Structure 1
Amino acid sequence: MFGVPRLADFVKAYDVRGTVPDQLSPAVAQALGASFAEVVAVPDGSAGIVIGHDMRPSSPELSAAFAAGVTSRGVDVTMIGLCSTDGLYYASGALDLPGAMFTASHNPAQYNGIKLCRSAARPVGQDSGLAEIRDLAQWMLDGGSGLAQPVGGPGTVTTRDLLGDYAAFLRGLVDLSGSRPLKVVVDAGNGMGGHTVPAVLGTGAGLPALPLEVVPLYFELDGTFPNHEANPLDPANLVDLQAAVRAHGADIGLAFDGDADRCFVVDADGDPVSPSAVTGLVAVREIARARAAGDTDVAIVHNVISSAAVREVVLEAEATPVRTRVGHSFIKAEMARAGAVFGGEHSAHYYFRDFWFADTGMLAALHVLSALGEQERPLAELCAAYERYVASGEINSTVTDQAAVVEQVRAWAQVRGAATDELDGLTVTSPDGQSPTWWFNVRASNTEPLLRLNVEAADRETMQDVRDELLALIRSDATAPAGDHNGSTTGSSTSSTTSSTTQDAGDAS
């Protein structure tokens, strides 16, 4: 029914993300598995590959087809079944194997995808093997032949359950045993949080009970997402969590995305805590932890969209802030280069040196719970030190000639004497000595004709003035607003959705 798909249409900069079955079919998955083995496992001398999958209806079949491709190249496979993306990263790190995670994260039910990594959860992206994997798989699908048969014959497939090991490992990094009792509402969005939260925060994996009363929302694994989209970056998908936190008189609410690698936080009033504030809070804890272990030169990585408060908090803790581009491959590479103990993104991806520099929302959640439980103040009060500015959230505009509009924004900045840099898109900072202070970043999407705008300022009025002036400029030649899910403008950005349905927020936006 479907012809041979063009892999370049859905093998993106950082992962695979396409519709099933017209783009991502078992045949495509098998070709990608064989090419992953050829490009990554064989040259690296890996002992095998580990594969996990989420709860989407197509995931078991696609992951089995991928495994068949891998074993056809003489490489062994360890199947760990249902897991979160950070559960796959744990397996890759603990077993020292390359990995493949079948998930489309928060994307709608008709999508699926693959996140790939080398051993120790090292990322595989466009510039680190994914382009070669794509091209070899396309050659196979187009009828290419001639790959040498593996000397030792096909590889083997074994199964292994690592959920308990994953949960124990995370608990070993954050001690909650001394916490005051906390009531926690968790919205899993019918995603993999419904599988991992009972294991990590509860007794589902046989671990001792923590001083937590967990109120579950939508823990039933269902890749059709019957209750709401598993994308907490969109404020509309936090409404049920916010209502439940207030109704139950909970201390905190947590929301996980579809593959449970990102965690969003709301306080006891149901108000979102910005990912930048979570980054600041966890950074301070990880800095202290590293110092206690004898580290003297401690670095924290954050992306260009993170609140200015993150840099300030890190400097106040006498550590080194390292600013980098948006996207997990950039964060991970910069963390490895700087030996950073922690990294955070505005999209609620949190990265830890002690987790192979990979991202895990669950470990960030444990840190927030520990910080809340070791003192008596409510979460809003605790986080006030990290919520210092007012942010717009990410606002998307459809723009045909992105480069021309960015040049107009640059000219706008020059007239005002503002400082600029181009680490990732165009970042403009208010002139020295100007008060109230402000900054913004405008950058083009890698996958769509969009410009993404983030504005932050010392007060609401300034933020709104800068935001509105820039939107008028950007949209003067724009066809229409796109994905204008403007995040809350109280405190730092509570984040807003990107309009892309084919990439995880913060991965390739």
Structure 2
Amino acid sequence: MTHQFHPSILREYDVRGIVGDTLSEADARALGRSYGALALAEGAKRVAVGRDGRLHSPSLEAALIDGLIGSGLDVVQVGLGPSPMLYFAVATLGVDGGIQVTGSHNPADYNGFKMLLNGRSVFGEEIKALGRRAEVADWVDGLGEITEADVIPAYLDALLRGFDGKAYRIGWDNGNGAGGEILERLLARLPGEHYTLYTEIDGTFPNHHPDPTVEANLADLKALVADKKLDFGIAFDGDADRIGAVDSEGRVIWGDQLLMVLAAPVLKELPGATIIADVKASQTLFDRIAEMGGTPLMWKTGHSLIKSKMKETGSPLAGEMSGHIFFKHEWYGFDDALYAAIRLIRAVSDSGQTLTELRSDMPPSVATPELRFPVDDSRKFAVVDEVAARLAADGATVDITDGVRVQTADGWWLLRASNTQDVLVARAESTDQAGLDRLVSAIDAQLSQSGIMRGGPIH
């Protein structure tokens, strides 16, 4: 029987939609059949499946597995846990791929699927191809088996392997996400004093939205750090593949700033290594990596794209402004906020300074949050091309790795088309407010020439 997915759920990096509206159990079953056919065509026989703590994740997982075993794939169920636990299972259980049922950091009514196969992320064109396969029921029939595996003990051991950090007083905000149980078990084994918020896994997210890159969501963590006079605080998103942090003064340590701290011990051990960050990252990060003897590489935003580039360049460490941190050094190369937290403790210890001192030593800069401009999907990439052409004609210093990133005397600004929403995303950074204002004016001027005006917030 053929199956049609709602076009909005076949996204660049995963399949994700609103349960009961754009995403159903029938979709999960059809995805299992399509993925199963793709996997078997590549010689895969066995895949791992995990799920996050959303209320509809068990039923979507059951339907997905029904589709997978109906294709003849064997399934290893690893159960409830964060996305990186599923990635760990794929890396260590001798399986050929894996799927995590997760809505990531989206609101509670969303859910979706992150897919791995034969050592890669399934993303972009491959996801669209799964949709086309379902439309014509290009599937295979079989009868796979289901087994279960408890990978939590091995995962915890791996997270702590080689731990050489000092004992700190740390606050942790799990945001009721899927990392809760593992975090509790991890902290029982970590030195130091630990204070936790919202470790109970609750798919309704009753306390705050589980996205640590939005500063408002860090309010409770800041209050905890201030109240207990802690050394720093760490937060996770809904499926614990993205990390956020605050120092003892409550200042947010953004993704690129975390990467500056994390890169130092890696470059001490691997001089000259390539450290990758996405085009949204601060110029101070790329400059700092070079100062530390590393090779900075600016690359496209998107965790699947970053992972691919890491493989290509042999990079030991990469990161995104969105809080995805990828360690190949002493780890497996996937984005794992729990592991990034452990490495942050180790890096701060190694520095001989506090995280607050490391944050204070970073060059002063003022930056915009992400500015979003609603634009029709059919037009968003064309607008970026138009801006790039005008800038080239003006002789501007432009990097076109992912959209346009323009360097001026005031600093830099970026304009790129979102891969997941019908928006253009812009960001700018300068050493002072006056410079930042000029950069934002330059963005507005370019966009107005293409008939685009800034809109309100988009989620």
Q: Same fold (TM over 0.5)?
A: yes
Q: Distance in 2 between matches of 1:312 and 1:480?
A: 31
CA offset digits 1:88-108 (Å, max 9, x no partner) = 111111123200001011111
* Residues 1:441 and 2:441 aligned together: no
Q: Distance in 2 between matches of 1:44 and 1:355?
A: 26
Match of 2:452 in 1: 478
Q: Which moves more between the two structures, 261-270 or 316-325? A: 316-325
Alpha-carbon spacing, 1:387–1:269, altered in 2? closer, same or farther (3 Å)? same
Q: Distance in 2 between matches of 1:347 and 1:92?
A: 24
* Residues 1:364 and 2:337 aligned together: no
Q: Which moves more between the two structures, 160-169 or 366-375? A: 366-375
Q: Which moves more between the two structures, 398-407 or 451-460? A: 398-407
1:391 to 363, 367, 383: 367
CA offset digits 1:308-328 (Å, max 9, x no partner) = 122212212222222211111
CA drift at 1:235? 1.5
Alpha-carbon spacing, 1:66–1:403, altered in 2? closer, same or farther (3 Å)? closer
Q: In the alignment, is the contact (CA less than 8 A) between 1:183 and 1:252 conserved in 2?
A: yes
Match of 1:133 in 2: 130
Aligned identity (percent) is 32
Match of 2:178 in 1: 192
* Residues 1:265 and 2:255 aligned together: no
Q: Distance in 1 between matches of 2:366 and 2:393?
A: 24
Q: Distance in 1 between matches of 2:114 and 2:180?
A: 20
- Tell me, what secondary structure is at the counterpart of 1:355? coil
* Residues 1:464 and 2:412 aligned together: no
CA drift at 1:481? 1.6
Match of 1:339 in 2: 314
* Residues 1:329 and 2:326 aligned together: no
Q: Distance in 2 between matches of 1:305 and 1:360?
A: 20
Q: Distance in 2 between matches of 1:148 and 1:28?
A: 17
Q: In the alignment, is the contact (CA less than 8 A) between 1:426 and 1:442 conserved in 2?
A: yes
Query: Which residue type is aligned with residue 259 of structure 1?
Result: D
Q: Distance in 2 between matches of 1:410 and 1:46?
A: 43
CA RMSD in angstroms comes to: 2.3
Query: Which residue type is aligned with residue 32 of structure 2?
Result: G
Q: Distance in 1 between matches of 2:448 and 2:87?
A: 41
Q: Which moves more between the two structures, 212-221 or 78-87? A: 212-221
Q: In the alignment, is the contact (CA less than 8 A) between 2:213 and 2:254 conserved in 1?
A: no
Q: Distance in 2 between matches of 1:173 and 1:61?
A: 38
Residues 177-216 of structure 1: pairs in structure 2 closer than 5 A: 179=166, 181-200=167-186, 202-203=187-188, 209-216=189-196
Residues 228-377 of structure 1: pairs in structure 2 closer than 5 A: 228-290=208-270, 298-353=273-328, 354-374=330-350, 377=353
Q: In the alignment, is the contact (CA less than 8 A) between 2:444 and 2:453 conserved in 1?
A: no
CA drift at 1:232? 1.5
1:161 to 124, 129, 150: 150
CA drift at 1:132? 2.4
Q: Distance in 2 between matches of 1:165 and 1:7?
A: 38
Q: In the alignment, is the contact (CA less than 8 A) between 1:96 and 1:119 conserved in 2?
A: no
Q: In the alignment, is the contact (CA less than 8 A) between 2:4 and 2:134 conserved in 1?
A: no
1:380 to 331, 356, 359: 356
Structure 1's unaligned 5+ residue stretches are 204-208, 292-296, 484-498, 501-509
Q: Distance in 2 between matches of 1:194 and 1:230?
A: 12
TM-score calculated relative to the size of structure 1: 0.83
Q: In the alignment, is the contact (CA less than 8 A) between 1:48 and 1:76 conserved in 2?
A: yes
- Tell me, what secondary structure is at the counterpart of 2:312? helix
Structure 2's unaligned 5+ residue stretches are none
Q: In the alignment, is the contact (CA less than 8 A) between 2:3 and 2:134 conserved in 1?
A: no
Q: Distance in 1 between matches of 2:218 and 2:293?
A: 35
- Tell me, what secondary structure is at the counterpart of 1:358? coil
- Tell me, what secondary structure is at the counterpart of 1:454? strand
* Residues 1:57 and 2:32 aligned together: no
Query: Which residue type is aligned with residue 260 of structure 1?
Result: A
CA drift at 1:423? 1.3
Q: Distance in 1 between matches of 2:360 and 2:155?
A: 32
Q: Distance in 2 between matches of 1:360 and 1:387?
A: 27
* Residues 1:424 and 2:402 aligned together: yes
CA drift at 1:189? 0.8
- Tell me, what secondary structure is at the counterpart of 2:210? coil
Q: In the alignment, is the contact (CA less than 8 A) between 1:450 and 1:482 conserved in 2?
A: no
CA offset digits 1:20-65 (Å, max 9, x no partner) = 123322221111112111102x133234010000000110111111
Alpha-carbon spacing, 1:192–1:105, altered in 2? closer, same or farther (3 Å)? same
Q: Distance in 2 between matches of 1:85 and 1:445?
A: 23
CA drift at 1:408? 6.5
Match of 2:94 in 1: 96
Match of 1:80 in 2: 78
Query: Which residue type is aligned with residue 213 of structure 1?
Result: E
CA offset digits 1:467-501 (Å, max 9, x no partner) = 24423553584355232xxxxxxxxxxxxxxx34x
Q: In the alignment, is the contact (CA less than 8 A) between 2:257 and 2:285 conserved in 1?
A: yes
Q: Distance in 1 between matches of 2:453 and 2:297?
A: 36
CA drift at 1:386? 4.1
* Residues 1:17 and 2:16 aligned together: yes
Q: In the alignment, is the contact (CA less than 8 A) between 1:253 and 1:265 conserved in 2?
A: yes
Match of 2:425 in 1: 452
Q: Distance in 2 between matches of 1:468 and 1:108?
A: 33
- Tell me, what secondary structure is at the counterpart of 2:90? helix
Query: Which residue type is aligned with residue 455 of structure 2?
Result: P
Alpha-carbon spacing, 1:345–1:37, altered in 2? closer, same or farther (3 Å)? same
Q: In the alignment, is the contact (CA less than 8 A) between 1:71 and 1:77 conserved in 2?
A: yes
- Tell me, what secondary structure is at the counterpart of 1:195? helix
- Tell me, what secondary structure is at the counterpart of 1:214? strand
CA drift at 1:336? 0.2
TM-score calculated relative to the size of structure 2: 0.92
1:67 to 62, 65, 68: 65
Q: In the alignment, is the contact (CA less than 8 A) between 1:277 and 1:387 conserved in 2?
A: no
Q: Distance in 2 between matches of 1:480 and 1:217?
A: 36
Q: Distance in 1 between matches of 2:448 and 2:213?
A: 24
Q: Distance in 1 between matches of 2:302 and 2:363?
A: 23
Q: Distance in 2 between matches of 1:114 and 1:422?
A: 30
Query: Which residue type is aligned with residue 117 of structure 1?
Result: L
Q: What number of residue pairs does the alignment pair up?
A: 453
- Tell me, what secondary structure is at the counterpart of 1:474? helix
Match of 1:486 in 2: none
Query: Which residue type is aligned with residue 213 of structure 2?
Result: L
Q: In the alignment, is the contact (CA less than 8 A) between 1:30 and 1:67 conserved in 2?
A: yes
Q: Distance in 2 between matches of 1:376 and 1:148?
A: 58
